[in-house]
Structures are given as C-alpha cells and as structure tokens.
A and B are shown apart, each in its own frame.
Chain A
Amino acid sequence: MSKEKKSGIMLNATNKLKNEMGRHFLAIEQAYRDGKPTAWATSGTPVEILYAMDVQAMLPENSATISAALKQSKNFIEIAEDQGYSYDLCSYFKTNVGAVSSKAEMSVGGIRKPTFMMSSDVICDTHVNWFQVQAERLNVPHFTLDIPHVVSNTNNRQREYFKKYVKEQLWELIDFITEVTGHEYNEEKAREVASNSYELGKIWQDVFELRKNIPCPVSTRDTFGGLFPLFTMPGLKSPIKLYKRMYKEAKARVNAGVGALENEEFRLIWGGIPFWFNLKFFSNLERWNAMIVYEPYVYAFSKYTNPNITKDDVLKHPVESMAELVLSFWYIYDLKTRVKKFKETIKEWKIDGVLLHNNMSCRPNSCGQYDLKRILMEELDIPSLVITSDMNDPRKLNETQVVNQIESFIEILRQRKEQ
C-alpha cells in the first residue's frame, strides 16, 4: 500500500474564507462599539431571525472550533472540568466555558457577553443546558425553542401540530427579541434575509452536486472550513459571493476533468462532526488515494433540503417556512430517514465506503450509527467503519489506533475494487 505524501488541492476561493470570517468578527466588534444588540445562538436555530431584527449573531460552537484548530481547546476544556463539569460532557460546551472564564480573545475562540442567548433542543439537549449554564453565569436573558422530535414512525398528522408548535414559538421568540432589544420585526427585511439565506444554501448544495463527479473537484479542505458562513452568516449577502466563487472554480475543475486529488481511488462519506483539533487527519486520507466526497453534517447546514419548501414559500412566509425547515433537517433525521438518505447519497455520489464518527461529545448523532452501519453492509454491500473520538477534545483521539483502523479499512476497499 502506497503511503507516500500526497496533497490534494484546495480551491483558491477557500483562501478567501479567512476574509469572510474576518468580516464576521469585525461586524461583532462593530456591534459592540455601536451598542447594537448581540446574541449567542446554537447551531440549528433560526439565525436568520436575528439578522432580520438587526441583532448581531455569534455562534459559540464556531468559536469553539477555532480554539480546537489553534490547539487551545484542551486548555479550555480542562478549565471547565476544574469547575465541576464532567469529562463526559460536550467538548464544545466545555471549550466555551473555559474560554469565557479565562476571558480569551476572540482570535483563539473567546466570545463576548451577548445581549441575550437563543438555543433550541433541535440537535441536542446540550444546547439548552449549555446556554442555561452560561446565561446564569453571565446574567443575560435566554430564550429556548422546544423542537418536537420526529422519530421513524411520526405521521403526517403529527407533523402538522409539530409545525404549529414551532411556528408559535418562533413568534414568541420574535416578541422576546423585541422586548429585550426594542427592535421590531420587519417583514420586508425578513424576506430579504430569507432570500439571501436561501441563495447561500442552494449554492452550497450546487457545490455538493459537483462533487458527484469523478474525480471529485472539492475536498474536505474546502468544505469543513467553508461551512462556517452557513452557521454564522445565513441571510447576509457577502458569503454568497464566496460560495459563487467556490462553485465557479469547482465547475471549471469538473469541465477540465481535474479532481482535488490527483489519483482518486476511494470515495468516502464522513458521517459526523470532524476532529477540529486534527484536520490533518482528513487530508492524510489522501495518502491512500482516498477522498471524502460527502459530509452529511456539512451538507445539512445548507438548510433548504426539504422539497416541500420552495423559494416562494421562504419569501412569502419566512417564519412559517422556518418552522417546517427545523423539523426536517439532515443532521437530526430519524433513523429511518437517515438510512434512506445515506442509501441515496451512496448511489448518487458513487461512494465506496462510509466513515462514521462515534463522537463522544455528540451522543444524539452517534446513536443509531451501529444500525446504520449494519444496514448499509447488508443491503448495499457498502463497508462502514465507526471511529470513536471527539470533535473538540484531543484527549479522546487515539490517533495510532484510528490510523490503523483506517489502513485496514482502505485495504478492504482496495481488495473489493480488485475483485
């Protein structure tokens, strides 16, 4: 097996990501200078409502990944553990607690005290608990959205009253924001934000469509980082330009038959959040001519994946559409839908193998992976490997063991190709 160093090519446009994120952080600084309201939001919440109401959004999860990428997360996590938070709790949460307690700069994952916090249990209970902890410590108001859980046998009748419940809470959220900030909801502004958000999500989906090509033009070098505007800036104009550039460049690669990796042999899915503290791990797959061409987690945040929600719906009824979208979000699919979606993806993106991250900080997402793995093998004859680690806590990655697992997994894929 060849192990020589091979490097995939990153899109030039991705280099501009730093500028885009820089713009986001400058906007935060500016908001504090101008006395504009700010809010912490957990991923999966309707950040668009914040922008529509002229509130500057800040995502502590995004900040936590910065700490990890800069090898600071372990220090912050240990600070939180010293304060009594268990080794077994979410590493994003603990990174945030440690960073805030130690008054870390934004450049290393610190985050300033907001005017208020907005969370929801759409992805996990942790989001709600996390903001409860920090809202109490920082003494700021906190609004949480209760998103009913769609399970494998939820019927359409249930979906209707689920949607009604979420919609009512979104209006309640809007009232809460008005009460805290004095800013009124403006339907026209909400439409403009919704339109931008829709466009951003759709271009991201277009980029993923291009990844169906062999060779794949875009690697995780572009997608893992490229994801952040979807979290932090949905509804703003500027990231749209960046995504358009990414698309244009990727399209040119497709037209020229050029892939992100010179000799692409194995096309993989990465299920789950990456190890932000060790992104090198993913580019190292290139040594074996293996390439991740689809990440459900990264795709999920393109948001507009529900075919029942059209651009027209989003523009005419931004709040109502949001209620439907939070209930049908790739990252939280029930097991039955998740299996179906994996099967479709494997076929369309011509996948050879699936890597699933049993993330000790995201138990809700890890639950069901063993069944998913078995079904993919039994019904599609697609090998999968479950890797146990953590998204932000480097202490929970046994790199030697994982590399050995990957090596054996690639060997299996190679043998199957040779047969």
Chain B
Amino acid sequence: MKKIGIFDSGVETPEEIILAAGFISHRLFGDPTIEPDKVNEHIPPTHCVWTRNLLEQAIRGLDKDIVGIIATHGCDRTNREFDVWLKCINLDFMFFLNSPLKRNKISLKFFIDDMKELIAQLEDSFSVKVSSEKIKEAIKLMNKVRSLLMEISEFRSKMVLKGAEFHALVKKVQQIDKNEAVKLLEAKLEELKTKKATINKKYKKILLTGSDLDDTEFLEYIENLGFQIVIDDLGVGTKYFWNKVDENKEPIEALAKYHLEKPIHSTKFPSYERFDVIKKLAESYKVDGIINVAHKFCEPVLYDHPYLSKKFKELAIPYLFIEIEYNRESYKQLATRFEAFREII
C-alpha cells in the first residue's frame, strides 16, 4: 500500500483524509544517528535541528512507498522549509496545510476550507474519490486507535509500562497501516492487563513536555537515570489521542474541530494555555516534577519556557528545562542535570 508522508511539527494533520484516499498515513520522524550533510546546502546550521534532520533524510531518500507529502503548519519551520522541500524532493503530490494559529469560529471555517482543498488536490492527483462515507469510516478507525492508546497510556502511571516503551508504540502507530495498528494495540493491551507493576516505585514520576521529541532512546536515557514518565504533553504522546473525533457530525467539520480543541501546542496561540493543560495533568497524575525539553533552536518552546518556569515555581512544582542537540552523543552531557533534578525532587 502506498503512503503519504506527514511533515508536521505539531500533530494537526487529519490522517483520516489520507486513509479515506486509500493511503497509509506515515508521519516523518528524525533519525538522530545521521549527521547533517546535504541539508547544509539548503538550511543554515543555526536553524531547528529536528527539521534539518528530516530534510537530510528526505534528500537521501524517503521510504519508497511514499508517493506524496503533506506538510502541516506547526511553526515557521514548516512553511519556510516546505518551499525548500519542493526544490529537493521529486514527488508529484506536495501539499501545505495551513493548520490555523488561532482557535475560534473563523479559524475553524478556514481550516475546513483548507481540508477541502487538500481533498480536492488528493482526488485530482491520484484519481481517487474521498467521499464523506470513507472519511467517516476512517474516523471510526482512528477513534479506535485513540481509545486503545488512551487505555494503554494509563499503564505508565500504574508503573507497568515504561514511558519509553509507550513512546515507541505511539511512534510506530503514527507510521503504520491503522488496521495493523489496532491489532498491535489490542494485543499490547491484553498483555498489559496480565502484567504486574514491576517498575521501581522509588523512580521519580515525571511529566515530559517540550518540542516534538521523537527519539525513543532519549526517553529511555531519562528513565534509566531513575525516572518514570507517567504522563506527557507531546505529539508522540497524549496530543495524538487526547480525545475522539465526533462521529455524528459532518466529518470534515468534526476533524477540524477535533484538532482545534486539542490541548494547545507551543506553536499555536495562545500557547500560554499550555500551562493549564500541563498543570492539570501534573496534578491528576501526582507527578514529582515536570521536564520540559527543547530541541536546539526550537523557538516556540524557548519562548514559553520562562513563563512555565515562573508558573510552576509559584505552584512549587519542580520543573526542569533542558535544551538538546539532535544527536545521541550529546545526551550524555545532560546526566548531571537530570541526576541533580532527581535529587531535589
């Protein structure tokens, strides 16, 4: 089955439309084991390390089944770099989706218009029909995926499932056929139901937030230092399955609404509302602390950090801010900061 690749620094791409067009939705992730090389001819090294990595991979060669790319507006990187992708990538279908910055009635209408344009261009490029019925079916399938992930997610706070293992699962689900994903998640859920809490109870329970962290090894690295990620506020995490799309509404409107009503990302306005979401999660999951990780040059997260730091200080919730390069060698230098944080909480 052919795939449509997703370049998104949030998670606001309506995968249901891709499924309804007969493709696998396949989110593009970085590969921290590769060094920037060809990308240096296009994007300066002082720009977001993660999106540079994505372009590096794309220039070297995308998955052979990918027949098109949808870049969804997350931050400035997506729209500006999309033009460079158009120069570097030889695919017939390349669409930039303007996921709105704001969340109100006017932006909802606009998002619906933009999704309709996406559908029109998919139909035109691939000679397919993306009917409302097919989108409704895809919504049901994606809602099933979301429900399963919601349930599995809870095993993190029950100290049964490592945060890193869950992260790997969410990541995989974002790339594979969604019927396969349902089977995978159902099997995982059954397995978890039989398992006991084996994770060391002395581990500090944390909430992980920040840039769209996609290197599972980084999460493993954190947890190996004596933490358990019991909850998160990430695209490869709760933002992917926060709630469900309304199955009784007109499907495109329901999709637009779903994405605009999700917890806000730092890339959207007003991003300060992110504090309320994190606070609520931190309280519900009784975390010992919050770790906010920014990829180097990730401006939206860098802008929000002092505000979050101030607010969590007021609430006396321990908060650690870390900036990371997108390569595994650099993680080692962070051990002292994580260990010191573990000590103080």
In the complex, chain A residues whose CB is within 8 Å of the CB of B96: 149, 151, 153-154
| B98 CB-CB contact with A under 8 Å | yes
Query: Quick one: which of B101, B272, B323 contacts A136, CB cutoff 8 A?
Result: B272
Binding stretch for chain B, among A207-215, A216-224, A255-263, A366-374: A366-374
Cβ of B136 within 8 Å of any chain A Cβ, yes or no, is no
Which one of B107-115, B161-169, B242-250 is at the interface?
A: B107-115
Contact with B along A106-134 (1 / 0, CB 8 A): 00000000000000010011101110110
Specify which chain B residues have a CB less than 8 angstroms from the CB of A151 in the assembled complex. Answer: 79, 82-83, 86, 96
A residues less than 8 Å from B114 (CB atoms): 148, 158, 161
CA–CA, A354 to B300, complex, Å?
31
B-side interface mostly: helix
Q: Does A187 contact B (CB under 8 A)?
A: no
B52 to chain A, nearest CB (A): 11
B83 touching A335 by the CB < 8 A rule? yes
Whether, in the assembled complex, A15 has its beta carbon less than 8 Å from a beta carbon of chain B, the answer is: no
State how many angstroms separate the Cβ of B110 from the closest Cβ of chain A.
4
Question: Of A148, A336, A364, which one neighbours B76 at CB under 8 angstroms?
Answer: A364
Interface bits A373-410 vs B (CB < 8 Å: 1, else 0): 01000000000000010000000000000000000000
Q: Once the chains bind, are A125 and B300 in contact (CB under 8 Å)?
A: yes
Tell yes or no: B81 within 8 A of A by CB: yes
Interface assignment of B46: CB less than 8 Å from any CB of chain A: yes
User: Bound state CA distance, A85 and B304, in angstroms?
Assistant: 9
Knowing A124-B76, A335-B83, A364-B80 are in contact, say whether A169-B106 is a contact too (CB < 8 A). Answer: yes
Q: Which residue of A lies closest to B101 (CB)?
A: A146
Expressed in whole angstroms, the minimum distance between the Cβ of A257 and any Cβ of chain B is: 41
B101 x A128 contact (CB < 8 A): yes
B117 in the interface, Cβ–Cβ < 8 Å?
A: yes
8 A Cβ contacts from A45-87 to B: 83-86
A74 to B101, CA, bound (A): 31
Q: Which of A125, A148, A153 contacts B75 (CB 8 A)?
A: A125
Q: Is A91 an interface residue (CB 8 A)?
A: no
CB within 8 Å of B: which A139-161 residues: 144, 146, 148-149, 151-154, 157-158, 161
A-B pairs with lowest CB-CB distance, top 9 = A84-B306, A335-B83, A149-B79, A367-B80, A129-B303, A146-B101, A165-B110, A161-B113, A148-B98
Given contact pairs A148-B98, A363-B297, a sample of 9 additional A-B residue pairs in the complex whose CB atoms are under 8 Å apart: A125-B267, A126-B76, A129-B304, A146-B107, A152-B82, A336-B86, A360-B46, A367-B84, A388-B46
